[in-house]
């Protein structure tokens, strides 16, 4: 059970006054035009609930309103949510039904709408947002992704998404090929995260400490991959900004195919405390300074 508590007081340099969601700047005609680019059927929508396991600045005291989509465009052999990401399960939702879910989460007091693994349904997400806005949606939209995103998908969402929350999993093609079945992941992730930052900039908050707009990058520390961590942190600090907000996560554990197949023995353990400490040191040495600290 997670404690219900307010996020820490934000640095005044990253506070947004009088916040309004990005989509509120769009006219009805602009929203309609964006929907015309989207398809009219939603893929499997797997789970909808207030989530208290996200970062403090997202979960707050009432939870982040998460909507999990079935399937994923990566095949990570260590996925802890493999039953959702690798199996075709869930219910089919149309745009108006997904809008119903968004508004229900808002009515329950959630602080944002958090779309999880949405890249393969990005057009449908745009359609659902356009459906929900005239019905009273007023929460920030969070795009929670692996970063294996098409630039066209992200451009479709420009002006609709307030907070991009990508993972940056691998720097080396060899690791991406072996563990995510996508050798082009590193370059695609760099291009996608760069575009996300172009759209929303560094992460900013309301005075209540809740995230309102910007980029939040997650890095999962894995065994024997500190060289990749160093490269990723340096890229974030130099290609984007030293103000990039980063969550260095310690919850990796062997799951799914790891432990069943000997070719994944290199990652068949949890990272040690020294690896976690060194990952944080590498991020600081790269010039990053804004880190998520779980309350």
End-to-end C-alpha distance for the chain, whole angstroms: 13
Task: Supply the DSSP symbol for 216.
Answer: E
Residue 280 CA, distance from chain mean position: 20
The model's pLDDT over 153-208, given as tens digits with 9 standing for 90+, comes to 999 999 999 999 999 999 999 999 999 999 999 999 999 999 999 999 999 999 99
The answer to whether residue 91 scores a pLDDT higher than 80 is: no
State residue 33's pLDDT score.
74
Q: How confident is the model at residue 87 (pLDDT cuts 50, 70, 90)?
A: low
pLDDT of residue 45: 45
What pLDDT, on the 0 to 100 scale, is given for residue 37?
A: 59
Q: Is the pLDDT of residue 76 over 70?
A: yes
* Mean per-residue pLDDT over the chain, rounded: 91
- Listing DSSP states for 123-162 in one string gives HHHHHHHHHHGGGT--SPEEEEE-S---HHHHHHHTTT-S
pLDDT tens-place string over residues 103-128:
999 999 999 999 999 998 999 999 99
What's the pTM value of the predicted model, to 2 decimals? 0.85
pLDDT surpassing 60 at residue 27: yes
Band the pLDDT of 44: cuts 50, 70, 90: very low
Higher confidence at residue 220 or residue 3? 220
Higher-confidence position of 26 and 181 = 181
Are 65 and 108 spatial neighbours (Cβ–Cβ below 8 Å)? yes
Whether residue 42 has pLDDT greater than 50:
no
Which candidate, 25, 31, 120, places its Cα nearest to that of 71? 120
pLDDT category at 31 given cuts 50, 70, 90 is confident
pLDDT higher for 40 or 125? 125
Alpha carbon 179 to chain centroid distance?
A: 19
Domains and CATH numbers, the chain: 29-291 (3.20.20.70)
The per-residue pLDDT for range 212-246, each reduced to its tens digit, is 999 999 999 999 999 999 999 999 999 999 999 99
- Which of 83-92, 136-145, 153-162, 184-193 shows the lowest mean pLDDT across its residues? 83-92
d(Cα 69, Cα 48) in Å, to the nearest integer?
Answer: 9
Check residue 88 and give its pLDDT. Answer: 61
Average pLDDT over residues 19-41: 74
User: According to the model, what pLDDT value does residue 80 have?
Assistant: 85
The pairing of beta strand 211-220 with beta strand 245-249: parallel
Q: Mean pLDDT throughout 258-270?
A: 94
pLDDT category of residue 90 using cuts at 50, 70 and 90: low
- Cα–Cα distance, 20 to 25 (Å, whole number): 8
pLDDT number for residue 5: 65
Whether the per-residue pLDDT at 48 is higher than 60: the answer is yes
Cα–Cα distance list, 154 to 88, 94, 255 (Å) = 24, 21, 30
């Amino acid at each position: 059970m997670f404690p219900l508590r307010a996020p820490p007081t934000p640095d005044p340099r990253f506070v947004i006054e009088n916040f309004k969601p990005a989509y509120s700047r769009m006219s009805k005609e602009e929203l309609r035009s964006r929907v015309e680019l989207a398809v009219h059927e939603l893929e499997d929508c797997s789970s909808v609930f207030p989530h208290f396991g996200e970062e403090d600045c997202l979960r707050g005291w009432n939870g982040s309103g998460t909507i999990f989509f079935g399937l994923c465009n990566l095949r990570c052999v260590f996925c802890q949510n493999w039953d959702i990401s690798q199996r075709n399960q869930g219910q089919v939702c149309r745009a108006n039904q997904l809008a119903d879910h968004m508004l229900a989460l808002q009515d329950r007091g959630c602080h944002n709408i958090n779309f999880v693994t949405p890249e393969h349904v990005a057009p449908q997400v745009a359609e659902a947002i356009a459906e929900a806005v005239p019905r009273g949606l007023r929460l920030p939209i969070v795009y929670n992704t692996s970063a294996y995103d098409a630039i066209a998908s992200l451009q479709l969402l420009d002006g609709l998404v307030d907070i991009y929350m990508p993972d940056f999993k691998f720097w080396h093609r060899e690791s991406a090929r072996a563990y995510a079945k996508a050798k082009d992941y590193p370059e695609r992730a760099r291009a996608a995260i760069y575009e996300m930052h172009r759209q929303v900039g560094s992460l900013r908050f309301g005075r209540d400490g809740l995230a309102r707009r910007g980029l939040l990058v997650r890095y999962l520390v894995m065994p024997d991959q500190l060289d990749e961590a160093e490269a990723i942190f340096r890229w974030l600090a130099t290609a984007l900004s030293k103000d990039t907000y980063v969550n260095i996560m310690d919850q990796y554990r062997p799951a799914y195919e790891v432990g069943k197949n000997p070719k994944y023995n290199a990652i068949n353990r949890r990272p040690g405390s020294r690896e976690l400490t060194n990952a944080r040191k590498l991020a600081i040495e790269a010039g990053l300074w804004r880190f998520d600290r779980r309350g």
